[in-house]
Structure 1
Amino acid sequence: MSKINKAILDAYRLGEIAALPEKVHPSGLIESGGRYNVGEPESVIVHWIGSRGTNAVAVANYNRGNIYGGFTHNYISGTENLASARDDEIAWGAGTNGNGYTLQFELTWTHSKHDFMQQTLTAAMWLIDCSKCYPRLNIRQVGYKVHNTFFSGVQEHGWVSRNMGGTDHVDCRGYWYGSHHGFVSPVGRWFGEEYSIEQFVALIDELCGVDRQEGISKKRVQRLYLPSDAKGWNVYRAGGSWSVGHQVGRLQPAKFGGLDYEILAWKIPGVVAVIKTHDFGIVGIYVAAGTGAVIE
């Protein structure tokens, strides 16, 4: 798994980022009254707007002013997932050989690691939801050319331009990776590596609960059991420190006949786990050998 995808999944499990709910544009959805209906989309095109604008409504408004010159179905920022056009109608964003059968969304620029991770998570989860509505939508493969007028899978606009024709755009270059027209991807600065369509599809697979390389279900979740004879158990801020004097609360296993929690992550493997409690939220807990804690 890539460093970026691991960071996204860890932040998601810890509640630090969330998949943003889809909201409809304040002026409603663009539609053609059935003139350009394509029914069920089968492939996906990822766009980047090519500016430092971060407001999804403003970016959508720019495209909606010339709807047959270029627009996409959704606009996703670090804080919004905006539906702008009916997803069962053609989006005019990628040329004749890319528009007629694809679900298309536009990424805005983000100015922080947090917003980038939340934007990427939101896009992946939105596609998973769309695939439940459209069974033919192929979100589990990196896009590949089937013939001159059709590709299958998930691809970025730049690949579509090079392989399907119709446009000369290169996005997501300049945002996910590399540089273009004065824009330099911020992703490498945040993570020490750049992002790619291959990583994005791998993230979708992880969120669907499947390990792409192994082709099997992910390992079951680990659980933490605190024994019924433990009268008190300190918990700490998930980020530390995890020593006496820094506790943020105290669990009472004996009062409830023992307690059990899902282990969300390990801060120190086998020693400090991250759990989510009812009273104190997401916390770190010391569970090293000899404490009486049971890990299964």
Structure 2
Amino acid sequence: MNLKKVTMIVVSVLLMVAFSMPTQAAVNIQKQHMNGLPKTAFANGVGKPSMIVLHETANSKATIENEVSYMSRNWKNAFVHAFVSDSKVIEVADTNYTAWGAGATANRYAIHVELVRKGNFTKAYHNWLEIAVYYAKQYNIPMAFNEGKKGFVTHAWISKNLGGTNHQDPIAWLQQNGVSMVQLEKDLRVAYTGDTAVSPNTPPITETPKPNVPSNIVAGANVKVLPSAKTYVTGQVIPAFVKGSNYTILQTKTDRVRLAGINSWVRNRDIKVVIPVVTGRKIYLPATASTWRIYGLTVSPIKANTKAFLKPAKFGGLSYPVLKNRGSDVYEIQTVQFGRVQIYANPITGATVR
């Protein structure tokens, strides 16, 4: 056998090995496997899961360490494979074997990944997507969403379609943070096709604030994150699914804005105003009011349709830019927790609009 042929064979073998190895996750996985767990094969065999179940912990006060500690003491009731926070991933069970995370039927096919609530939602969400995709590629699980015993599914989808559980996560928590199921699927597809998650160890970037903020960059304005944007103000990479998407400004500073949905600071130069705040007026809610009703955008602003309550007294009064005047003292405003809503602000209520 000549040298050229030997070289070609060696190169071919190296390429086969390289492409057969799983992609390295951008976020480091800390393996803290719990003792005593059963070693039950998946329906298709050991190391052959076919879907990733997406969960969230439903506990806003518990850190990732709290969640791991609790599960270590109570795994005989239920356990998952991994927890994901804004700074780390802790794998608590071997992903080559089943876990007890979402009913007997689903468990025979699934790797279970929990999103931890406590901490920065944007970072945790990005890490969650990254790890879910990492596991999917490691086990050759296809890109599909809520379609069956393959791809990515929510715990809520399992409850509706496979049974054995009645949990509805992660829908409500994602929606509270501006992520719909449509957006979740879109983000998964972007991550699956090559986008990488935010690295939690990127050092912050400091820069000189820029004066002369454009007058249309104000709270309540709807803006698009430009495709040319590279990093958040913290220095963390802006994922592809954020670029080109529209968000509402929650807060402004000299050279940056905080955006609803991703709850992150983006530089003014990296956004474009799509829908400006055109009224130039604000609603002021008095500090004497303990609560104030708000309403969804598609209902009549009457007591029976109350969506939630603002708490002016708690904050010494509240103020919001008027995004739209609907007439009859009804206005649209943007809130941090409840998104864009209607509010009734007749002068007799104590509110002022100016």
- TM-score, normalised by the number of residues in structure 1: 0.54
1:51 partner letter = N
Question: Aligned to 1:155, what secondary structure does the other structure show?
Answer: strand
| Corresponding residue for residue 88 of structure 2 | 80
Confirm or deny that 1:201 pairs with 2:185. Answer: yes
Instruction: For residue 20 of structure 1, report the CA deviation from its aligned partner.
Output: 2.9
2:185 partner letter = V
Instruction: For residue 68 of structure 1, report the CA deviation from its aligned partner.
Output: 3.1
Question: Aligned to 2:172, what secondary structure does the other structure show?
Answer: coil
> Structure 2 vs 1, CA of residues 103 and 266 (structure 1 numbering), >3 Å: closer, same or farther?
closer
User: CA–CA distance in 2 between the matches of 1:239 and 1:47?
Assistant: 41
Any stretches of 5+ residues in structure 1 without a counterpart?
A: 1-17, 146-150, 178-184, 188-193, 212-235, 244-262, 268-273, 275-283, 287-296
Matches within 5 A, 1:32-71: 32=37, 34-36=39-41, 38-71=46-79
- Between 1 and 2, higher relative CO (CA 8 Å, sep ≥ 6) is seen in 1
Q: Who wins on radius of gyration, i.e. which is larger?
A: 2
2:101 partner letter = G
Q: Indicate conservation of the 8 Å contact 2:171/2:180, yes or no.
A: no
Instruction: For residue 133 of structure 1, report the CA deviation from its aligned partner.
Output: 2.0
Instruction: For residue 238 of structure 1, report the CA deviation from its aligned partner.
Output: 6.6
Question: Aligned to 2:125, what secondary structure does the other structure show?
Answer: helix
| Corresponding residue for residue 143 of structure 1 | 146
Q: Sequence identity, in percent? A: 21
| Corresponding residue for residue 228 of structure 2 | 265
User: CA–CA distance in 1 between the matches of 2:98 and 2:133?
Assistant: 20
Q: Indicate conservation of the 8 Å contact 2:113/2:132, yes or no.
A: no
User: CA–CA distance in 2 between the matches of 1:239 and 1:204?
Assistant: 35
Confirm or deny that 1:164 pairs with 2:162. Answer: yes
Of residues 87-96 and 194-203 in structure 1, the stretch that sits farther from structure 2 once superposed is 194-203
Confirm or deny that 1:96 pairs with 2:104. Answer: yes
> Structure 2 vs 1, CA of residues 44 and 264 (structure 1 numbering), >3 Å: closer, same or farther?
same
2:76 partner letter = Y
Cα deviation per residue 1:175-201 (whole Å; 9 max; x = unaligned)? 112xxxxxxx3x1xxxxxx31343223
- TM-score, normalised by the number of residues in structure 2: 0.46
Question: Aligned to 1:175, what secondary structure does the other structure show?
Answer: helix
Question: Aligned to 1:45, what secondary structure does the other structure show?
Answer: strand
Count the aligned residue pairs: 186
User: CA–CA distance in 1 between the matches of 2:109 and 2:48?
Assistant: 7
Runs of 4+ in 1 over 3 A off after TM superposition: 28-38, 208-211, 236-240
Matches within 5 A, 1:104-183: 104-111=112-119, 115-135=120-140, 137-138=141-142, 140-145=143-148, 151-177=149-175
